[in-house]
Structure 1
């Protein structure tokens, strides 16, 4: 596949003439990364190689530039920034090295094809386009959760693995990139997947620089972009509306986590015919009511009508509950102001709920293990929620990976004490190279081997597992319409740590709700 370079769409060109610092097949960089095959060069002069990590014996992609030094600073800084975010739909960044005569970034190798390559055979089916956009939005949401911007979302940086996994590569934000351009770029990805054309709305899409090789969308005599349904048959109305809303500069886009949740809903229920009638999330104008055009009829009227009925019902329910609570009271004070209604004295709209850390104490966590040895290894779970990332819990040392095949895995069970809406779970590990997943369930039996087996076998996976990931993991694929009480961080495999031991170490777990 085309393994795109850092920050640019890769162009298939011949390798440059050999020069000082030029790499060669078989060369080992940093005494660890062996170069196996030159893949391509990007438009910024960076070489992309398939390599092998000779220590961990895994394939890697090496993005190399020579000379290094100041000329490679942007590439290295972008890699360092990207390495801070761990997500199943983001390409993992393993290393960034500057040797002055050349600099290189080592990242995850993905067997598959870029979205740009997939569409050369024709536009994708709507269901597959929705699934890819959902994965891309989830990856961007993880980046935004750290306060960063991706800034390089386009068909060349969206990769679809042979195993079906979708990953986003090569973050490269600069002063021109914002969370809004990232969100609008999801619309560009949808448009490209559905039509085979990239909408060149450079002011509204991130990654607008250097993308002229991609064909523009079909436009009328006035330059207005044609909607996907006008380009090809079979595109559902709800998907057409969502795509064009994201590309419309007059409409404000939602946050990407909200967009990811909406795409998840459409992706999960793509076969349901009712979506054609009810319509998806729709957006408001930037300056609603001030010279704004009237909203179109159809699905927007339905959504507005339902919303109005819900507001009336909630206000009525609020007054009804307060009337019951105040029955028999002699208090003659003015009635309370319902949420969303201005108070006559110092009142205002109720602010939207913000994600916050859920308090977890020692009584809320315990170690889960499917092995027969249930000794001191199960003690000390409190250290993973003590707020100190320098202190943690660790397992016994094993003679090989996969816990030397003595058990199917180990992990930490978290009891939130009551059903809660969960936004993300972040885990800090003592070392990387861990294969893990997050599960949820509705039982928490007393600790025993049989009970732990039951937990592992009945809990359902949340999102996608991590394979040989770094030392930090964030799970954010939670259903916003569901509540969770019991969560299980579950590890099935691990590499050797810095001491050469197969030992699992969990430093800290935080839950945002």
Structure 2
């Protein structure tokens, strides 16, 4: 006997369940109005016969689902609509033919390269969410979907806390697993951007190590206790990902990087992975390598392997960076030649195709002395640029003049991100251009909107907060929050 498929909202026909858990059931469905396949999440509400609590949970779920629907990002599952039907919320979402990261890990851990690639994609969505005030609250392998082509997307923005997932109930039961909780959330504090960073770090840790950072146990209370103390097992297989992971997994939320920083560092690791592959094509960062470094690499014996070439190139880059820093410091101490770039220096970047051997005039890196009129006032050096002007000038150098840009970073800034000049150049090699706008200044702190255009196509935006300090009369970038 034919039974008509269940319909929701007079337009969505439920086809089959494709997932589920404590939060409810996920259905593959057909949007009969637009003729497309969608995923529909049927949320489960508290079943304790308390009408007030049930209504509050439903309203909270509806409100947070609407907040999640504000986010549209290529690496986040889009929420199309929220319906209130059959006395419960239904989320109408983008459908992605995919496997969750949790399912993939059942076949074994990922390589560091694969984890970094997935992480760079997902972090871009989480960073975008944080910029519009959305806290995910439940970052874990089960909420990361990976398509057949390697595209990774994160789902379930803002829903888990509303539905009561991962918290102690009145009877002491635990809904969900504490394996990816930050210490502060495990102690009962509200989820925050910093707790998302920890949970994402725990997810990347599990992707490579094969187990969560708190280890594995059937005793959920024991895991929750371990989580509340931040007692993680040190990673053993994460290789170059380790420094970033340890910062993300810091017990103190204030010591963790922002999600925008996480995204930047993961993209840098992706670039480094591509540059160190043993295959034959040229290094991706080739357009930004200074002429001297290229000459040094060309002088290497032809029989040397690719790793040797990379080492020679990196050494030459570091040597050039050191020479430039010495030159700049010397110029700073000499008086009038320390003049900052003119105020007309654009915030947009010089295209990466500009040969780095011929930097734009705004960098004042030429050894030609200034006009004689400036020497007559050598007893009164020109006033230093403002922090806002320094930030505009910094982004105006990039990505075409990496040496001058790197020289505008303090050692503290470089150390905080493990940024050798080689790593700095590798990270910037992925961009065609960068534009800084909406620059505002508050003392030595500057906020700025930064737009990046990738060489591979596409773009991303972020709002950064930078703290600057004066070194020899020049404002330099000291930290980024």
Match of 1:228 in 2: 235
Match of 1:244 in 2: 246
Offset from partner CA, 1:101-121 (integer Å, 9 cap, x none)? 232111011211111111111
3-state SS of 1:138 partner: helix
Distance verdict in 2 for CA 1:195–1:351, change over 3 Å? same
Q: CA deviation at 1:137?
A: 0.8
Match of 1:177 in 2: 191
Match of 1:51 in 2: 29
Match of 1:422 in 2: 435
Give me the whole-angstrom Cα distance separating, in 1, the residues matched to 2:214 and 2:126.
20
Offset from partner CA, 1:5-42 (integer Å, 9 cap, x none)? xxxxxxxxxxxxxxxxxxx9711211111111123432
Note if 1:194 corresponds to 2:173.
no
Note if 1:31 corresponds to 2:10.
yes
One of 334, 341, 349 as aligned partner of 2:380? 334
Q: CA deviation at 1:309?
A: 7.7
CA contact (8 A) 2:124 2:263 kept: yes
Count, aligned residues: 300
Note if 1:267 corresponds to 2:270.
yes
Note if 1:476 corresponds to 2:460.
yes
Give me the whole-angstrom Cα distance separating, in 2, the residues matched to 1:305 and 1:240.
27
3-state SS of 2:13 partner: strand
Q: CA deviation at 1:439?
A: 12
Structural mapping, 1:127-138, within 5 Å: 127-138=113-124
Offset from partner CA, 1:52-72 (integer Å, 9 cap, x none)? 111222211111136785432
Give me the whole-angstrom Cα distance separating, in 1, the residues matched to 2:191 and 2:14.
33
One of 457, 461, 467 as aligned partner of 1:462? 457
Give me the whole-angstrom Cα distance separating, in 2, the residues matched to 1:88 and 1:245.
26
CA contact (8 A) 2:120 2:263 kept: yes
Give me the whole-angstrom Cα distance separating, in 1, the residues matched to 2:69 and 2:129.
10
Distance verdict in 2 for CA 1:103–1:69, change over 3 Å? farther
Give me the whole-angstrom Cα distance separating, in 2, the residues matched to 1:161 and 1:25.
31
Structural mapping, 1:336-375, within 5 Å: 336=382
3-state SS of 1:328 partner: helix
Match of 2:261 in 1: 258
Match of 1:85 in 2: 71
CA contact (8 A) 1:138 1:257 kept: yes
Distance verdict in 2 for CA 1:325–1:262, change over 3 Å? same
RMSD, matched Cα? 4.5
Deviates more, 1:347-356 or 1:89-98: 347-356
Give me the whole-angstrom Cα distance separating, in 2, the residues matched to 1:43 and 1:477.
35
Q: CA deviation at 1:248?
A: 2.2
Give me the whole-angstrom Cα distance separating, in 1, the residues matched to 2:79 and 2:370.
56
CA contact (8 A) 1:40 1:47 kept: yes
Match of 1:447 in 2: none
| TM-score of the pair, normalised by structure 2 | 0.52
Offset from partner CA, 1:413-438 (integer Å, 9 cap, x none)? xxxxxx951379xxxxxxxxxxxxx9
CA contact (8 A) 2:433 2:453 kept: no
Distance verdict in 2 for CA 1:142–1:122, change over 3 Å? same
Q: CA deviation at 1:271?
A: 5.0
CA contact (8 A) 2:65 2:91 kept: yes
Give me the whole-angstrom Cα distance separating, in 1, the residues matched to 2:234 and 2:76.
29
Greater fraction of residues in helix: 2
Note if 1:102 corresponds to 2:88.
yes
Match of 1:42 in 2: 21
CA contact (8 A) 1:199 1:225 kept: yes
3-state SS of 2:142 partner: coil
Distance verdict in 2 for CA 1:51–1:71, change over 3 Å? same
Q: CA deviation at 1:258?
A: 2.5
3-state SS of 2:457 partner: strand
Distance verdict in 2 for CA 1:97–1:305, change over 3 Å? farther
Unaligned runs of 5+ in 1: 1-23, 202-210, 275-301, 340-346, 357-418, 425-437, 442-459, 464-474, 481-513
Offset from partner CA, 1:361-400 (integer Å, 9 cap, x none)? xxxxxxxxxxxxxxxxxxxxxxxxxxxxxxxxxxxxxxxx
CA contact (8 A) 1:136 1:167 kept: yes
Deviates more, 1:247-256 or 1:153-162: 247-256
